[in-house]
Amino acid sequence: MEHLKPLLDYVIPGISLGTIYALIALGFTIIYRVTEVINFAQGEFVMVGAMCMSTCTRTLGLPIPVGFALSVLLVTLLGALMEWLTIRPIRRASVVSMIIVTIGCSIFIRGAAMFLWGKDALPWLEIGSQQPILFPGDIRVSPQTLWILGITVSVVLFAHLFFEHTFAGKAMTACASNRKAAHLMGIPVERMVLYSFALSGALGAVSGIVISLTYFPVYDMGVSLGLKGFCAAILGGLGHNLGAVIGGVTLGLLESLGVGFLSRVVQMSSGYKDVIALLVLVMVLIIRPSGILGPRSNDKV
Amino acid sequence: MGEPGPGLRTGGDVRTVLSVEDLRIRFGGLIVLDGVSFQVRSGEILGIIGPNGAGKTTLFNILSGIYRPTGGRVLLEGEPVGGRTMHAIARRGVGRTFQNVRLFGNMSVLENVMVGRHGRTRAGFVHALFRVGGVRREERSILEASRKELEFVGLDELAFLPAAGLPFGKQRLLEIARTLASEPTVLLLDEPAAGLNPRETEGLSRTIREIRERGITVLLVEHDMELVMSISDRVMVLQNGRTLCEGTPRQVQDDPEVVAAYLGEGF
Amino acid sequence: MDPLGTRSRPLRERLPLPLFAALAAVLPLLLSNEYYITVLIFMGINVLLVVGLNLLMGYTGQISLGHAAFFACGAYGSGILNVRLGWSPWVCMPVSLLFTGVLAYLIGKPILKLKGNYLAMATLGFGLIVEHMAVEWGDLTGGPSGLSGVERLTVGDWRFYTPGIRYAYLVWAGVFLCIVLAQNLVGSRIGRALRAIHGSEVAAGTLGVDTARLKLQVFVLSAVLASLGGALYVHYLGFIAPASCGFVYSIHLVTMVVVGGMATIWGSVVGACILTLLPQVLTFLEDYDILVYGVILILMMLFMPEGVVRGVLAAFRHAGAKVSGLGGAGPRAADGG
């Protein structure tokens, strides 16, 4: 057990961070499955969730559950609004146009956040004490980590139940496999697209709230988080919900272990942590773009 | 009933222009072509029919280099071409059209055909940037050849219109003109009559015969039985990735297995 | 687009180039202020980059969200060689261009196999990696505060950088050359092949176009143009920082392409000029200019996806048709100019 302990010091934070990446990745995947659009503004959904939560609980003094509900609701509406205003009017446009529009949205939301909240970081979210909880084998886990794991795992399970067992969820999955057929079956595809953006907004908000348990919310946090979420989604296999989860946890572990081991060998600043995610992204795209779980549908000529 | 093409008429001088030997391809666990073999004689029109999913378009994709076969050989004029890159095969002399027309919608009608000349011309980046090395002459020849092909299919009046704006029947003709500009030895037509009205199909039939007259060998995948049977020298039937039957149109029509499979009664 | 050669091109298509040359020759003389001259120089450098990026994105249809990385390679490459090794700028510049070309070749080979979204993310990732390296590898690059003390361009006693007007002429002469070459390229067999790749890569392949090779060549060309811009930049300012050549700049470049219009050379010029001037006009907005960029991108894609140049020309044609009593005529064939 003694040999394992240093490893566990990296594994546990890696997994907890990884589950957050998994949530962000899930947000990407849901939209991508239904629309084949990569939502560059996903990171901004995360950021707004975090910022709102901080404002609700710290500035306005609202109780945490209320703040939680309010923040999630707000970002859900934001996602829906974004779809309605900017995606729906150009839904037949090329991939390039879609990318540019979502980038534009991402920039705009970031700018608006800077306008509303300024450039300084907001206070983080406090739940419970800061004292680490002692587990058998002399493993220390902070309450924050437990909260993170608890919330993210519940959300992932909830999402799974939603897609497998509710009509709306199954309808969205149908749109993802075959849009025309879904349309012909009477599924309101346009509304499903709207729902996918709204749902991704909600997931983003939860990710942001959970992140603000360990990081300060700041207006430009979405850039790097969005990128990592996307990297996780690609790593696991874009288009698979399970892929988002696998990819997220894998990326979290890679980052944590990578920095942990490399910093014993080489003098490294924390900035290099982001480079790990980027290198993983580029490597995956070059070597196996379909990710761990592989392609989702056939590529017919 | 199809008239024998020039290649067949001249008796002893029958060249095999395309030879396919035991061709196989699988995608993951799905076997799409399971040992297809046939020979195509120079100057003939070979019709290829079969139900959806028989592997016809996949066959064309392999012949044009879009897919790489997992087994078997393809010989074009004696040279192996299976698994080569698309552009290498195109330069060897294989041209094709697509089931769902793939025009360059961002270019004009004439420009589409001019791209067809790409494989037969040489000006590279340096020539292009600095306009050296006989570029002007080459451009004029490209223009001439492209104009000729447009005239051949009757679209020369529409040369400067955007390709995307053409009515569907003319889009098909444009695609044919474009492929002809690449001077193919073998032309693969993938369901060219799909979506055409009877008058357009008549025109298409005439055009294909005129193509044969130019000495180009034609492989024709089609569902329009009347067209296939009336124009082909020979017909091959594909089913489940294998050749079911091969012969003259009459032979194929009369073959009981084929009739059972899909021609139905009263044909 | 003109397949016949300059002889029979209509006046309308032949006019912009001489007009541009005249404007470029006269404008620097009219600007009294050194500050305006500097803006003019930056504008020229942006045009170089945007023309290159448009060749890649607009004509060939390959999206690149990390183009600033090549600018950085040129600026940092040339700057580092000069500051750390003491080489003359006239040597550093070509070497950094070569280095960027090779890097673009190595990166391009694997990632140009990707399509659409995947290519976008790969280029984004590459751009961010370069940006991070510039920040983290402080010993080489000077870290977040940048690399300073880069020599400026001189030939013997003749200084290119003061008065600034000399550099403006140098840069815009380069821009002029670049435009001419780009127009040659676009109207040629290669230009058609590039646009065909955009139209339908598979169809182009079946017509004999070596799509992989051409994409790579265009990628390298646009990278080298970007690095030229970077080298010109660093040897004017004497300084380069990661903030000027990172993700934000990549997005600016894409915005310029979109605003000017994809697949139009003059569109690139117009887009680069407008969006270089815009921040100057919007200085009162300070940091919020990024908000404006976001709005511009969204509005352009919603209402004028073909870009300013074509949008305005179409509006004129529309108005002209109305005035002369004609119905709405169909759009003219896509022009490559």
Closest Cβ–Cβ partner in C189, C217, C332 for B118: C189
Lookup: tokens for B203: 């025109």
Q: pLDDT by residue (tens digit) across B153-184? A: 999 999 999 999 999 999 999 999 999 999 99
Strands B16-27 and B30-41: antiparallel
Q: pLDDT by residue (tens digit) across B94-133? A: 999 999 999 999 999 999 999 999 999 988 888 888 888 7
Helices (H), B214-266: 225-231, 249-254, 256-258
Distances (CA, A) of C125 to B197, C128, C281: 50, 5, 32
Residue A47 is assigned to a structural domain of this protein: yes
pLDDT at B195 over 50: yes
Asked if C57's CB is within 8 angstroms of A38's CB, the reply is no
Residue B151 is assigned to a structural domain of this protein: yes
Residue B258 is assigned to a structural domain of this protein: yes
| DSSP per-residue letters across A96-161 | HHHHHHHHHHHHHHHHHHHHHH-SSPPP----S-SPPEEETTTEEE-HHHHHHHHHHHHHHHHHHH
Asked if B161's CB is within 8 angstroms of C196's CB, the reply is no
Nearest Cα of chain C lies from the Cα of A139 at a distance, in angstroms, of: 33
Asked if A101's CB is within 8 angstroms of C298's CB, the reply is yes
Question: Is residue A116 less than 8 Å (CB to CB) from chain C?
Answer: no
Report the distance separating Cα A138 and Cα B244, nearest Å.
72
pLDDT band at B28 (very low <50, low <70, confident <90, very high): confident
Which residue range is the domain that position A152 belongs to? 22-221
Write down the pLDDT at residue A296: 57
Query: Does C327 or B18 have the greater pLDDT score?
Result: B18
Q: Are residues B3 and B70 in the same domain?
A: yes
Report the distance separating Cα A10 and Cα A252, nearest Å.
10
The pLDDT > 90 percentage for chain B reads: 69
Q: What is the mean pLDDT of residues B189-215?
A: 94
CA angle A268, A274, A278 (to 5 degrees): 120
pLDDT band at C94 (very low <50, low <70, confident <90, very high): very high
Protein fold of C6-323: ABC transporter involved in vitamin B12 uptake, BtuC (1.10.3470)
Q: Are residues B127 and B151 in the same domain?
A: yes
Residue B118 is assigned to a structural domain of this protein: yes
Query: Does C80 or A120 have the greater pLDDT score?
Result: C80
For testing contact with chain C, the best of B111, B179, B180 (most C CBs within 10 A): B111
Question: Is residue A282 less than 8 Å (CB to CB) from chain C?
Answer: yes
- What does the mean pLDDT of chain A come to? 84
pLDDT band at C10 (very low <50, low <70, confident <90, very high): low
Task: Kindly report the CATH number assigned to the domain that includes residue B29.
Answer: 3.40.50.300
pLDDT at B5 over 50: no
pLDDT band at B2 (very low <50, low <70, confident <90, very high): very low
Report the distance separating Cα A61 and Cα C86, nearest Å.
60
Q: Which residues of C touch A31 (CB under 8 A)?
A: none
Report the distance separating Cα B158 and Cα C328, nearest Å.
18
Residue B56 is assigned to a structural domain of this protein: yes
Report the distance separating Cα A71 and Cα A87, nearest Å.
23
How many domains is chain A built from? 1
Q: pLDDT by residue (tens digit) across B150-160? A: 999 999 999 99
Listed residue (B108, B144, B139) closest to B123, CA to CA: B139
- Give φ, ψ of C83 to 5 degrees: -75, -40
Q: Are residues B18 and B138 in the same domain?
A: no
Q: Which residues of A touch B67 (CB under 8 A)?
A: 301
Give how far the C-alpha of residue C321 lies from the chain's centroid of Cα atoms, to the nearest Å: 34
How would you class B8 by CB atoms within 10 Å of its CB: exposed for 0-12, middle for 13-18, buried for 19 or more? middle
Nearest Cα of chain A lies from the Cα of C290 at a distance, in angstroms, of: 6
* Beta bridge mates, B247: B235
**Do residues A226 and A106 make contact, with C-beta atoms less than 8 angstroms apart?**
yes
Domain residues of chain C, as ranges? 6-323
Residue A271 is assigned to a structural domain of this protein: no
Residue B206 is assigned to a structural domain of this protein: no
Q: pLDDT by residue (tens digit) across A256-278? A: 888 777 777 666 666 677 788 88
Closest Cβ–Cβ partner in A36, A100, A112 for C254: A100
Lookup: tokens for C331: 């759009």
Q: Are residues B145 and B252 in the same domain?
A: no
Instruction: Show which subunits contact C, needing at least 3 CB pairs below 8 angstroms.
Output: A, B
Write down the pLDDT at residue C324: 67
Q: What is the mean pLDDT of residues C285-308?
A: 82
- Most confident by average pLDDT, A240-254, C38-52, C286-300: C38-52
The beta strand positions in C33-191, using DSSP E, are 147-148, 154-155, 158-159
| DSSP per-residue letters across A200-250 | HHHHHHHHHHHHTTTS---TTHHHHHHHHHHHHHHHH-TT-HHHHHHHHHH
Mean pLDDT by 10 residues, chain A (301 residues): 66 88 93 87 95 89 89 95 91 79 91 89 76 72 82 88 86 79 82 91 94 88 89 87 90 85 68 80 86 60 30
Complex ipTM value: 0.89
Secondary structure, 3-state, B5-25: CHHHHCCCCCCEEEEEEEEEE
Residue A67 is assigned to a structural domain of this protein: yes
Q: pLDDT by residue (tens digit) across C164-180? A: 788 888 999 999 999 99
Which residue range is the domain that position B116 belongs to? 104-183
Q: Are residues B117 and B87 in the same domain?
A: no
Which amino acid appears at position A125 of this protein? L
Residues 90 through 109 of chain A touching chain C, CB cutoff 8 Å: 90, 93, 95-97, 99-101, 103-109
Nearest Cα of chain C lies from the Cα of A152 at a distance, in angstroms, of: 26
Asked if A119's CB is within 8 angstroms of C125's CB, the reply is no
Q: Which residue of C has its CA nearest to A301?
A: C202
CA dihedral A207, A208, A209, A215 (to 10 degrees): 120
How many domains is chain B built from? 2
| DSSP per-residue letters across B32-54 | EEEEEEEEEETT-EEEEE--TTS
Q: pLDDT by residue (tens digit) across B42-73? A: 999 999 998 877 789 999 999 999 999 999 99
Least trusted range by pLDDT, from B204-218, B249-263, C219-233, C322-336: C322-336
How would you class C295 by CB atoms within 10 Å of its CB: exposed for 0-12, middle for 13-18, buried for 19 or more? middle
CB atoms within 10 A of CB C43: 21
Q: Which residue of B has its CA nearest to A299?
A: B27
Asked if A298's CB is within 8 angstroms of B66's CB, the reply is no
